[in-house]
Each structure stands twice: as C-alpha cells, then as structure tokens.
C-alpha cells in the first residue's frame, strides 16, 4: 500500500494540536527530518518553510523555542560535550562541557530585541528589527556544537532560520545537536527544521550555501580561508575571523595576577579560543619576575633547547610557492600540555595546564595562531616597544589584545594603537565575554565586518514605520 507521508504528518500535527501538545501550524514536506539534510537545496527549502511558520508566531513563542535549545545545551552538556571531545579529539573535556552549558545559559536571546522611536513635531517614526530570513552559517571545529548553539539562539531570537555547514571534523556532534533541538521544538511548537544542517559538509556544500538564492545572509566563524570566501561571496556576510591575541605586561602590573590570568586564558580548552592569549611581551625590568610568577601559577617553563625541539615537531610548512607559511601541526593542535611536553623531550605531570618559555619576536609561536597550550614570552625594552610588537604580531586582524598594567596611560595608549574588537585589561581573555567580566557572550565575534560580539540584533534588518502628524501625544503636532 502506498503511504502518503505528508498526509500522515499533517494528521499527526493536527491531533497533537488538538490535545494541546503543539499549536496548529502549516506543515512542510520536510517535516520529520529534524533538520538533517545532505542536499543544500532541500536544507534551504526546509529552513524557508520553517521561517514562514516562525513568522506567524509571537515573540513569546520565539522565547520558548530558544528556551528548548538552552535547556538541551545545559541539561545534556556532559553527553554532548563528551561526544564533541571524542569526535574532534582536540581541547579539554571539562571545557567542552562547560562551553556548551555557558552558551546555553548566556547567549543573548529575545531580551536583546528592541525598537527605537523618534517622536517630534512631525509625528512618530518607529524603527523595528526584522529577520533576514534563512541565514547560512559556517562553524569551526574548535567549538562545533557550542558555536552552532550560540548562532541558533541569537538567529532565531531575531526571527530567522538557519542552514549550517559544520566543519567536517565536528559534523557528527553538530548533527546530533541539531536533531535533538529540532525534535523537541517540533514536539512542543509544531515547527520542524528551524535549524537545518548539512550532515556531510564539504567545501562544495559551503560554496553552494554562499551562492544560494534562498540564503539572505551569511555568518562564518573560522580562519582566514573561510573569512575570505565569505567576503567574496557577493552576499552580505557577518565574518567572525581569526586572531592572534597579544598580551603586554608592563612594570606596574600585579605580576601574580597577570600570571594567573595568562594561565587561565591561554590554557582554556588547550588554547583553542580565538580570543586566547597567544604571545606575551614583557617589559625587561619585570621579565624574570613574571617568569617566576608563571611557575607559581602552575605553568611549566621550557628551556631554549626544549623549545627548539618542540618547534621542529609542532610547526609545519603548508601552502605552495609564495603562499608557503608556518602552521600548527595537527599532532599538537589542541592537545594537552603533557603531550606537547613530550614533543619537547620533557615529561611533566598529566594535569599540567600550560607550557611557556622565552623566544624572540620572529619565532613561529609568536607569529602564528598556535591553538595549543604553549605560550612564548618575548622580552621588550619598555611598554612602547611591547605595544609596537603586539601590534605587529596581531597582523591587523583587529580581534583581541590584552594588557596587565596599573598605569592608565599605558592601557589607554595600547587600546588606541591596537584598535581591536576586544581589549582586556588585568584579566583572562574570557572576561571580555562576560565570564568573570561584564557584558554578554557569543562565540562568533565579527571583527572584519565590524559587528563585534554578535547578538540577535546582528541578524536583523531595520524597518521604519512612520506616522505623519499623528500619534505624538506631547504638545501640538504641526498642522
Ligand atoms: P577553519 O577556517 O579551518 O574552518 C572553519 C569553517 O570554515 C569550517 O566549517 C570549514 O569547513 C570552513 N571552511 C574552511 N575553508 C573554507 C572555504 N574556503 N570555503 C568555505 N568554507 C571553508 O577554522 P577552524 O580550525 O575550524 O577554527 C579555528 C579558526 O576559527 C581560528 O582561526 C579561530 O581564530 C577562528 N575562530 C574565530 C572566532 C571568532 O569569533 N572570530 C570564533 C572561533 C574560531
């Protein structure tokens, strides 16, 4: 017997609606897929159907939908974080778990939606923030499901739906997360495929998303290649690109506090955060004291010879001809400090969080985004030289920079010169995302395109509604 699946889904949706489990809603031929697709055209069509259904819903519904994503990220963080660790094999399990929970708890939601009003002699203009429609999102391997979770919360809060092309090495956990989010959203709200994912992502599927007519906006989170590709796509793009965050420590700093902050920020998830401390410039007069403070804070110092051996193992050359450049070796990227130490010919306790040591400015660990828990420390004459070196090492990404100082002039000067999206003073990098500092959180920090730490408003377009010569209730309007 031929079974008409769509008819059955419609009947089931109707029954659920009548028993109060889900509101009556239009269904889509993709209902029941729970967001998992192999074909970009189908994923975009399903997300478009979901967008049209979401348009019919209230802000309160959006809030409820987001609440489901938050709850799953928080309640299932151990299972999903472990899945992410087992699949990607980079970073630290405790941080994989914590990142999911934190994004579930702290990503800005519908409370960030607002309208602006201009009220004057000529009446009233109200500016509201409308969704773009279906957003194409590209996510990194360094935080596969966490980035997706944060993007989903903010984008849906803005009224959009999403098609995600995850990193191939984090696709399984991303797909499982999407399946769980959609299944529960469908059960409670009757809309499926608010988040569609390409379960077998490739560069071709990313390119197809970039040029798809049904995609209204692109949001990429990743390194230089994907940032370039998004900027060349011909579509409006929100680009959360790479960084190489430098730290300056001057002679006025509280050195123990600086050391504790550097250890905490640089070792978090084995240095995978794009905002993480990647190289440190220290004023000569306090250099040796800071190195001692780093050891007191639990980091292990490598000798010059150990650093040389480690560099031979951990830095590889990639690219051809003029494009040949240093890059972190996959054998060490995101691995534990104890694994790195073995590459340096040293044995350290397994629980060691961070390795560090003295290098010169030209050293590859200063110049590249290493994403592994070894941080180079470079001696500088004074704070001016430190800031100048920091500027050079940041390579113009304008992503993140940090200073440890009690001299307001030095802080101000560094802030002005660096011109980075995030500038942190006297704390670990994550304080800039509200973790131990003020502010809110996102794992897509859009430097190149200027949106900064993304929020639901990042993913909206302005619409103005003007009432001429009426509705201003103060005084008289112009006749
Ligand atoms: P990556 O650039 O290798 O990959 C990121 C994503 O882009 C993946 O999904 C990948 O498949 C895709 N991709 C790569 N090249 C592409 C191309 N030419 N066209 C289309 N898609 C392409 O980066 P990664 O190793 O997954 O993540 C680490 C990088 O991401 C670091 O450079 C880090 O600084 C950056 N990052 C930035 C932020 C931010 O908020 N600014 C957040 C997290 C990570």
Rg, the chain, Cα only: 25
pLDDT (tens digit per residue) in 283-313: 999 999 999 999 999 999 999 999 999 999 9
Q: What is the pLDDT of residues 95-107, one digit of tens each?
A: 999 999 999 999 9
Helix (H, G, I), strand (E, B) or coil at 468: strand
Confidence of residue 27 (pLDDT cuts 50, 70, 90): confident
Query: In angstroms, what is the span from residue 456 Cα to ligand 1's centroid?
Result: 21
- Residue 8: per-residue pLDDT: 54
Q: Is 242 near ligand 1, meaning CB less than 6 Å away?
A: yes
Q: Angle 436-147-263 (CA atoms, 0-180°, nearest 5)?
A: 40
* Residue from 351, 370, 348 nearest 359 by CA: 370
Helix-strand-coil percent breakdown of the chain, rounded to 5? 45, 20, 35
With a 6 Å cutoff on the Cβ, whether 243 touches ligand 1 is: yes
**Does residue 119 carry a pLDDT above 80?**
yes
Q: What is the pLDDT of residues 156-175, one digit of tens each?
A: 999 999 999 999 999 999 99
**Average pLDDT of the chain?**
94
- Report whether 73 contacts 101 (CB < 8 A): yes
Q: Are strands 116-120 and 123-131 parallel, antiparallel or unpaired?
A: antiparallel
Instruction: Please give the model's pTM, rounded to 2 decimal places.
Output: 0.94
Is the model's pLDDT at 348 over the cut of 60?
yes
Q: How far is the CA of 293 from the centre of ligand 1 (A)?
A: 34
Does the Cβ of 222 fall within 6 Å of ligand 1?
A: yes
Give the position, in ligand 1's atom list, of the atom nearest the Cα of 274.
34
Nearest residue to 147 via CA among 441, 419, 438: 441
Is the pLDDT reported for residue 24 higher than 50? no
How many other C-beta atoms lie within 10 A of the C-beta of residue 88?
22
Q: Is the CB of 163 under 6 A from ligand 1?
A: no
């Amino acid at each position: 017997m031929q079974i008409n699946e769509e008819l059955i889904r419609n009947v089931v949706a109707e029954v659920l609606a009548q028993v109060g489990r889900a509101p009556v809603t239009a269904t889509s031929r993709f209902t029941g897929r729970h967001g998992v697709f192999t074909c970009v055209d189908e994923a975009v069509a399903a997300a478009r159907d979901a967008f049209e259904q979401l348009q019919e819903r209230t802000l309160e519904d959006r809030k409820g939908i987001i609440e489901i994503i938050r709850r799953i990220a928080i309640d299932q963080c151990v299972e999903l974080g472990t899945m992410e660790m087992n699949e990607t094999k980079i970073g630290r399990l405790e941080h994989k778990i914590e990142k999911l929970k934190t994004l579930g708890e702290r990503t800005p939601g519908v409370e960030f939606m607002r309208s602006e009003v201009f009220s004057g002699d000529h009446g009233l203009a109200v500016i509201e923030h409308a969704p773009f429609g279906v957003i194409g999102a590209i996510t990194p391997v360094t935080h596969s499901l966490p980035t997706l979770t944060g993007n989903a919360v903010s984008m849906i809060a803005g009224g959009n739906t999403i098609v995600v092309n995850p990193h191939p090495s984090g696709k399984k956990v991303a797909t499982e997360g999407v399946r769980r989010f959609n299944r529960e959203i469908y059960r409670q709200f009757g809309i499926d495929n608010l988040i569609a994912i390409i379960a077998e992502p490739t560069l071709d599927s990313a390119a197809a998303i970039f040029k798809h007519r049904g995609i209204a906006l692109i949001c990429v989170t990743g390194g230089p290649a994907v940032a370039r590709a998004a900027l060349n796509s011909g579509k409006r793009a929100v680009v959360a690109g790479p960084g190489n965050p430098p730290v300056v420590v001057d002679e006025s700093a509280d050195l123990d506090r600086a050391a504790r902050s550097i250890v905490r920020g640089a070792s978090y998830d084995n240095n995978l955060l794009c905002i993480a401390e990647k190289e440190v410039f220290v004023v000569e007069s306090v250099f040796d004291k800071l190195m001692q403070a780093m050891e007191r804070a639990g980091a292990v110092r490598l000798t010059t010879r150990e650093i040389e051996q480690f560099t031979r193992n951990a830095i590889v050359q990639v690219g051809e001809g003029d494009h040949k450049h240093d890059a972190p070796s996959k054998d060490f990227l995101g691995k534990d400090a104890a694994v790195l130490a073995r590459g340096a010919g040293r044995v350290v306790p397994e629980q060691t969080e961070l390795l560090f040591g003295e290098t010169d400015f030209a050293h590859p660990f200063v110049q590249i985004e290493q994403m592994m828990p070894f941080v180079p420390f470079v001696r500088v004459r004074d704070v001016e030289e430190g800031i100048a070196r920091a500027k050079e090492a940041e390579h113009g990404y304008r992503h993140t920079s940090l200073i440890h100082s009690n001299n307001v002039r030095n802080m101000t000067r560094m802030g002005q010169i660096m011109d980075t999206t995030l500038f942190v003073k006297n704390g670990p990098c994550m304080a800039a995302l509200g973790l131990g500092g003020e502010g809110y959180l996102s794992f897509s920090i859009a430097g190149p395109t200027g949106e900064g730490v993304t929020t639901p408003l990042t993913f909206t377009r302005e619409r103005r509604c003007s009432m001429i010569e009426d509705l201003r209730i103060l005084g008289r309007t112009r006749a």
